[in-house]
């Protein structure tokens, strides 16, 4: 039996983890706390209602999502500070605040001096990382990449020199574009693991390279939410941007080297993929030796 001191306290915000899919991943502590708080702030009240019904939780809900977060933040702060309500924050799945608007409410509470306490639960990023077979001692969570433009390009360029294991989220309709962009920036032979529909009925853990992943999901349409885990860059050799690679390739090609020889030499010097460098060389003008 949980100690009485662990009961919800007035004026506290509780950040409660909920299952990614399998309801058996719900913790006893999370159920007990959601039953005892005054109010549940939920990303999608209809989605959360199914969870609450399953565990016989009758606590009232208030929506807190991307489109109403600005107005709701002040309202929730008033309930916490002015009315001393105990409030639980939940997202549609996993830990709130990870790639969802809950982070803004948490930050506002911290700034206002409202106590914020975690009720741990599953997180897709860590779940996928643990079974990826890639290094877990150092990793970086990138969430969703910017959709387009210079923000996306600069983020991808920054990842070229990231030596830690990289974790990203992606929706099915954007998966192929993201895999293609990652392969162009990091190299098609970069090892990766994809977690699809984690803990759900059609869960799949896929292992291979970025190039293999592109081929796989060109052959079968992606379905469900994906967590991508990508091996970091080799620590060997100097870090070099795509533009710097192009400049060096141009210099080597004008020295008379073939594309293959220039790519091999540059791959050895930088520790990057020979195949990806060769693909990059094909975007440049032909060298004098090849004209």
Q: For every one of its 291 residues, what pLDDT tens digit does the chain have, with 9 covering 90 and above? A: 444 457 899 999 999 999 999 999 999 999 999 999 999 999 999 999 999 999 999 999 999 998 999 999 999 999 999 999 999 999 999 999 998 889 999 999 999 999 999 999 999 999 999 999 999 999 999 999 999 889 999 999 899 889 999 999 999 999 999 999 999 989 898 999 999 999 999 999 999 999 999 999 999 999 999 999 999 998 655 556 788 888 889 988 888 899 998 888 888 777 677 888 888 899 987 644 444
Query: Is residue 225, in this structure, part of any structural domain at all?
Result: yes
pLDDT at 5 (0 to 100):
55
Q: Tell me which of 122, 156, 186 is where a domain ends.
A: 122
Same domain, residue pair 22 and 111: yes
Same domain, 68 and 99: yes
Final residue belonging to a domain, choices 75, 94, 122? 122
Token pair for 26: 């719900």
Q: How far apart are CA 247 and CA 162, in angstroms?
A: 21
Looking at residue 114, which CATH number applies to its domain? 3.40.1010.10
Q: Are residues 247 and 143 in the same domain?
A: no
Q: Are residues 204 and 109 in the same domain?
A: no
Q: Are 118 and 8 members of one domain?
A: yes
Domain boundary pick from 68, 96, 122: 122
User: What digits encode the pLDDT tens for the residues 13-39?
Assistant: 999 999 999 999 999 999 999 999 999
Q: Given this model, what pLDDT does residue 230 score?
A: 98
State which residues form the domain around 279.
242-290
- Residue 244: what pLDDT? 83
Could you tell me if residue 133 is inside a domain? yes
Per the domain annotation, does 43 fall within a domain?
A: yes
CA distance 176 to 218: 7
Query: Would you tell me how many other CB atoms lie within 10 Å of the CB of residue 148?
Result: 9
Q: Is residue 237 part of a domain?
A: no
Give yes or no: residues 163 and 251 share one domain.
no
CATH number of the domain residue 132 falls in: 3.30.950.10
- Determine, yes or no, domain membership for 135: yes
The rounded distance, in Å, linking the Cα atoms of 262 and 270 is 12
Domain co-membership, 8 together with 115: yes
**Does any domain span residue 59?**
yes
User: Based on the structure, what is the number of domains in the chain?
Assistant: 3
């Amino acid at each position: 039996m949980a100690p009485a001191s662990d009961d919800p306290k007035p004026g506290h915000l509780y950040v409660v983890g909920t299952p990614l899919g399998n309801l058996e991943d719900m913790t006893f502590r999370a159920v007990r706390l959601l039953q005892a708080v005054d109010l549940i702030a939920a990303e999608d009240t209809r989605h959360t209602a199914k969870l609450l019904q399953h565990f016989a939780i009758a606590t009232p809900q208030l929506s807190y999502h991307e489109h109403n977060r600005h107005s709701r933040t002040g309202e929730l702060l008033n309930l916490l500070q002015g009315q001393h309500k105990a409030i639980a924050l939940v997202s549609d799945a996993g830990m709130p605040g990870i790639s969802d608007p809950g982070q803004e409410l948490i930050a506002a509470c911290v700034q206002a001096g409202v106590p914020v306490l975690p009720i741990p639960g599953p997180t897709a990023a860590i779940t996928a990382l643990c079974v990826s077979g890639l290094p877990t001692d150092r990793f970086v969570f990138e969430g969703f990449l910017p959709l387009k433009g210079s923000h996306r390009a600069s983020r991808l360029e920054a990842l070229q020199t990231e030596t830690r294991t990289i974790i990203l989220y992606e929706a099915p309709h954007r998966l192929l574009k993201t895999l293609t962009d990652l392969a162009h920036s990091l190299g098609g032979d970069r090892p990766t693991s994809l977690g699809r529909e984690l803990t759900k009925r059609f869960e799949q853990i896929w292992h291979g390279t970025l190039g293999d992943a592109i081929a796989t999901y060109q052959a079968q349409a992606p379905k469900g939410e994906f967590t991508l885990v990508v091996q970091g860059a080799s620590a060997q050799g100097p870090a070099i941007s795509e533009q710097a690679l192009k400049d060096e390739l141009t210099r080597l090609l004008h020295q008379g080297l073939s594309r293959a020889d220039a790519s091999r030499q540059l791959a050895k010097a930088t520790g990057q993929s020979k195949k990806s460098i060769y693909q990059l060389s094909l975007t440049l003008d032909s060298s004098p030796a090849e004209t």
